[in-house]
Amino acid sequence: MPIRTWIALSLLAVPVAGQRLMVVSEFQRLRPDGQVALADRVETAHEFISPAIPRGGNLTVRLGVEVPHGMKYYLYVGQNPDDTAHCRLYQERYVQAGEEWLPNEITHVDLPHGAVLSSGQTVQSYLLDIKIPASTKPQRFRLEIQLNVGERWVIYPMEIRVRDLVVRGEPQTVANPIRVDQRADSALMVPLMGFACGTTWKKGDSQYRRGGDLITRNIMTDFLIAQARATEETRQAVIATILRAGGYRSREAFCARPYPVQAHAEWWLNVRKYLYQGLPVN
């Protein structure tokens, strides 16, 4: 959608009853009733206002679309400048896990995307995968996620900060062994054990079948950045900082007993602030 229309659309950005656009992290799975999965809930969820992304890296956010039943809705992504990022949208399919219905398998859908909620649904969950090409210059640009229902629009604006940092190389693939009833951040544990403890993993096939596959790819990309940061600090210092964000006392304590994670489900977002921007981890 042309950038010149954004100001006009913003006047219609206040959602009406039964029409809402939720934007949460990849670690907050949204149920078809609009609630966050019990295992993933945090006291205060992360807000995406001005996220930082390295060149060659990805930002994956989860979208929840709430609209009245029977009404067709459309999702758009607008950028200024146009085509700064490559965006792919994945629709999530729900499976029952105990007493909850949780998103699991994903299907790529084209943008703009139009759909109608299924019977019994209040919310449909999507994953928006935002890729910054490595050739992109460090800059700030505007990206808007736009929900249209009839004559109404709901707009979620973000100012994306493209960092000087460049992802060197391609992330290794890791098979995702987690169960749907586990916390969303469980998808990062096998790669983390490999990085911190030297354990091995089963190689994946680079196919994105579940939301956890995107999480695992993102974590493996983060470890490419961690390896680069280890040349400035030390590998031991980088590992210690990452594990401290998860609530672990030491590498030895983590490797001996990685589960359960002491920190909340979004703890890896604090790791990214350290890796991408050099911010301290408390």
Please, what is the average pLDDT of the chain? 92
What is the rounded distance in angstroms from the CA atom of residue 78 to the CA atom of residue 143? 6
Question: Residue for token digits 């709430």?
Answer: 66
- The H or E element spanning position 42 is none
Q: Is the dihedral of CA 108, 58, 157, 87 positive or negative?
A: negative
Tens digits of residue pLDDT in 215-265: 999 999 999 999 999 999 999 999 999 999 999 999 999 999 999 999 999
What is the rounded distance in angstroms from the CA atom of residue 150 to the CA atom of residue 70? 12
**What end-to-end distance do the CA atoms of the chain give, in Å?**
41
Strands 52-55, 152-166: parallel, antiparallel or unpaired by DSSP? parallel
User: All domains of the chain, ordered by start, with CATH?
Assistant: 3-165 (2.60.40.10), 184-277 (no CATH)
Q: Is the pLDDT reported for residue 282 higher than 80? A: no
According to the model, what pLDDT value does residue 4 have?
Answer: 36
CB 154, CB 146: distance < 8 Å: yes
Q: Is the pLDDT reported for residue 14 higher than 70? A: no
Could you please report the per-residue DSSP string of 230-250? HHHS-HHHHHHHHHHHTT-S-
Stretch 111-136: mean pLDDT, rounded? 96
Q: Is the dihedral of CA 195, 198, 204, 210 positive or negative?
A: negative
Q: Is the pLDDT reported for residue 11 higher than 50? A: no
DSSP, collapsed to helix, strand or coil, labels residue 46 as: coil
Q: Is the pLDDT reported for residue 3 higher than 50? A: no
Stretch 26-32: mean pLDDT, rounded? 98
Half-sphere exposure of 218 (CA within 13 A, CB side): 28
Q: Is the pLDDT reported for residue 1 higher than 50? A: no
CB 277, CB 241: distance < 8 Å: no
Q: Does the pTM of the predicted model rise above 0.85?
A: yes
Chain length of the chain: 282
In DSSP terms, 237 is beta-bridged to none
Tens digits of residue pLDDT in 56-81: 999 999 999 999 989 999 999 999 99
CB 99, CB 61: distance < 8 Å: no
